[in-house]
Chains A and B, each alone.
Chain A
Amino acid sequence: MSASPPSRPSPRRLAGRALSLCLAVVGFLLLARGVAASNAAVGLGQASRDPLSVPRWLYVATGGVTIGASALLASFVTDRRFVLSIHRWHETLPDWESAYRAGTLALNALGLVLLALVVYRGLVGPQIPTVNLAVVFVFAGMRAGLTMFAYLVGNPWPALNPWRAVAERLPNGFLDYPEALGRWPAVAGLLALVWVETTTPVTSDPSLLAAAVGGYSVLTVVGAVAVGVDDWFGNVDPVSVFFAFYGRAAPLSWSDGRPRLHLPGMRLVGDDGYGDDESAAPTWGMDDVAFAVALVWELTYSGFVTTAQGGAAVRALVGVGLPPAVVYGGLYLAGFAAFYGAYALAARASASRLRTYREARELAVRFAPALLAIAAGYHLAHYFAFFVSLSPSLFTVLASPLSVPPNPLVLTLPAWMGGLNIAFVLGGHLLAIWVAHSTAYRLFPSRLQAIESQYPFVFVMMAYTAISLWLISLPTAPPPFLP
């Protein structure tokens, strides 16, 4: 076919693009300045001579407006080729096949050693959470550090996973995994694990944590041997699915044993139909949507119950006569249902507003990866400071795992770290906006439809941002009624 495309963009187009980029940057900086100012005000909330105190609702609204305005600015980018080139860009790095094999074996061994250490030190080590290897490694190392590595660099869990290393070397796959279950077991598992983390003393009682990890190991290996390694770790094991989902936001991935570098978050935009990368866009279902929403929700929930206001809400509900466990459980499940419902409603609104035969379900599934960028931003906001302040303890316990560290060191962080949290939350949302924009251009032949299809999702994202910014602005307190 013979249209004659110019070999490169015309000067006029370039100028237009530069202008819209400038607009985007200026607009964002103007809005971001407002947020930064409001953050300082929130941080100094009690200081009476504070020259600029911004009411909390205004700070929260500014965050929402930032997301909405960014979505509008993104909609100025209507050049399909540019959108495509951003998410398709990749470098295939040199082939390190032998290094990959050796590295996988070494990581397998490392994972097994660490699992043994967690159980052993948890049971016989000092029963003090800040110096016990089990607690420090599981929460500062895995929950915070390894998860950050999974979305900032690449997902090392498949190689590190000790349960997989064991189950793979045993005869496995005696039962057929029921396809109808999809990834729902992992959704339930993730919700259950976060529930255990929030309401039981696993974070403060090393021997309980060791027992829980031991029990989980037995369950996982037995399950993986029963239904087969791939089915178990792909659909049931919440830890593996957790890392795999976060890993999709990472720039580095392995394809055929070769590392491949994408722009951060751009692997979230699935390639449908033609293209070089079909395997990178697995067909998702509503179970995957639920898992992505659960990742966003669990961070919001653990943020909520650790604020003074969240504690007050729990106390008020308990005061009415409800048992604390019911209050925590009810808030947890009701909040998840609300987040999931809001997202599903957005998909329905998007499908019904457009003249298209694409169904709400398909739109929900296709736009869901954008939620992973949001979850990564929240995770960084919740765990970055925690990880940095505990990293000396982590290195101490890993350097001498069998001895008790004489003087555990916990860093005190400067106050401006609080401002970073706002940047992380907004950054995750801005990435999600671009992922949604790029996805919409893959779905709709009409560019106006592509723009309009995003509106309901943008509103949901604005709501998520507002809630999250509100939570990180509140003073923290230990949750009441919990051991």
Chain B
Amino acid sequence: MNPEERRDERKASRESGPNGEASSMTETTRGATDRRTEPNADAVSNPPESYACRVCGRAFPESRLLVLHRGVRHANALTDGEKEAYVEAYREEEAELHSFRIRALAVLVVLYFGVLFLYIGFAG
């Protein structure tokens, strides 16, 4: 589940328009105007492995990224199926992040003791 991000989106949409649908429209327009057209050009040039967002047109090389993008950027325009896919992708990513945090912690420990031993060895 990803309550924070959905709240974000809601907050954003409250700021951009009085009601959900209109604001997701506004968001789309803004998204379309400030984005470059290259991603779409790419989407046309390599159709087999690109997934374009139906709301804003931005293309992604993996369907998983598109699912995450929809959840983060267009939470107000999700169908039930898309929402489920997003929750699933978010959970998977949470597991990957968990293993990333352990690796990052290991690097920090190595860095800390590495610097400590360097100081013991060279400062004096």
Q: CB-CB contacts of A65-77 with B at 8 A, as 1s and 0s?
A: 1001100110110
Cβ contact of B100, chosen from A82, A84, A272, A451, cutoff 8 A: A451
User: Given A1-B20, A357-B39, A357-B58, list of 9 further CB < 8 A pairs?
Assistant: A3-B2, A3-B6, A5-B4, A41-B123, A54-B119, A72-B104, A81-B8, A84-B8, A274-B16
For the complex formed, measure the closest distance between the CB of A225 and the CB atoms of chain B, giving whole angstroms: 33
Q: Are A58 and B123 in contact (CB under 8 A)?
A: yes
Report if A406 contacts B (CB, 8 A).
Answer: no
Nearest residue in B to A355 (C-beta to C-beta)?
Answer: B61
Interfacial chain B residues near A355, Cβ < 8 Å: 61-62, 65
Q: Which A residues are within 8 Å of any B CB, using their own CB?
A: 1, 3-6, 27, 30-31, 34, 37-38, 41, 52-55, 58, 61-62, 65, 68-69, 72-73, 75-76, 78-82, 84, 272-276, 278, 283, 355-359, 362, 445-449, 451
Contact B115 A65 (CB under 8 A): yes
Inter-chain contact A273/B101, CB cutoff 8 Å? no
Which residues in window 1-18 of B have CB below 8 A to A?
A: 1-8, 10, 12-13, 15-16
Residues on A with beta carbons closer than 8 Å to the beta carbon of B73: 273-274, 445
Q: Which residues of B contact A5 (CB under 8 A)?
A: 3-4, 6-7
Q: Which chain A residues border B96 with CB–CB below 8 Å?
A: 448
In Å, the complex CA distance between A3 and B72 comes to: 13
Q: What A residues does B39 contact at CB under 8 A?
A: 357-358
Across the A-B interface, give the 7 residue pairs with the lowest CB-CB distance, nearest first.
A5-B3, A81-B4, A445-B69, A445-B68, A357-B39, A54-B123, A273-B31
Flag if B65 contacts A446 (CB, 8 Å): yes
Q: Determine if B65 and A81 form an interchain contact, defined as CB atoms under 8 angstroms apart.
A: no
Query: 5 A-B pairs, CB-CB below 8 angstroms?
Result: A273-B31, A274-B16, A278-B34, A357-B50, A445-B60
Chain A residues contacting B83 (CB-CB under 8 Å) are 1, 3
- A80:B115 contact, CB within 8 angstroms: no
Chain B residues with a Cβ closer than 8 Å to the other chain, count: 60
Q: Would you give the shortest CB distance from A165 to chain B, in whole angstroms?
A: 33
* One of B1, B36, B56 near A3 (C-beta < 8 A): B1
Closest-CB distance, A14 to chain B (whole angstroms): 13
**Is B108 in the interface zone, CB < 8 Å from A?**
yes
Whether A447 lies near B30 (C-beta < 8 A) is no
- Say whether A1 contacts B36, CB under 8 Å: no
Rounded to whole angstroms, the CA-CA distance of A73 and B58 in the bound complex is 31
CB–CB A6/B3 < 8 A: yes
A80: chain B residues within 8 A (beta carbon): 4-5, 8, 72
Contacts of A84 in B (CB 8 A): 8
In the complex, which residues 94-112 of chain B have their Cβ closer than 8 Å to any Cβ of chain A? Answer: 96-97, 100-101, 104, 107-108, 111-112
Instruction: Tell me whether B112 and A27 are in contact (CB under 8 A).
Output: yes
Question: Interface readout for B71-89 with A: 1 if CB under 8 Å, 0 if not?
Answer: 1110110100001000000
Which residue of chain A lies nearest to B76 when distances are taken between CB atoms in the complex?
Answer: A1
Q: Which of B2, B6, B38, B119 contacts A1 (CB 8 A)?
A: B6
Query: For residue A276, which residues in chain B have a CB less than 8 angstroms away from its CB?
Result: 15-16
Candidates A37, A278, A446; contact of B68 at CB < 8 Å: A446
Q: Contacts of B61 on A, CB cut-off 8 Å?
A: 355-357
Say which residue of B4, B12, B104, B108 sits within 8 Å of A274 (CB atoms).
B12
Contact between A34 and B107 (Cβ–Cβ < 8 Å)? no
A359 and B124 in contact, given A76-B101, A81-B8, A274-B31 (Cβ under 8 angstroms): no
B41-72 near A? 1/0 per residue, CB < 8 Å: 01100000010000010111110111011011
In contact, A68 and B118 (Cβ under 8 angstroms): no
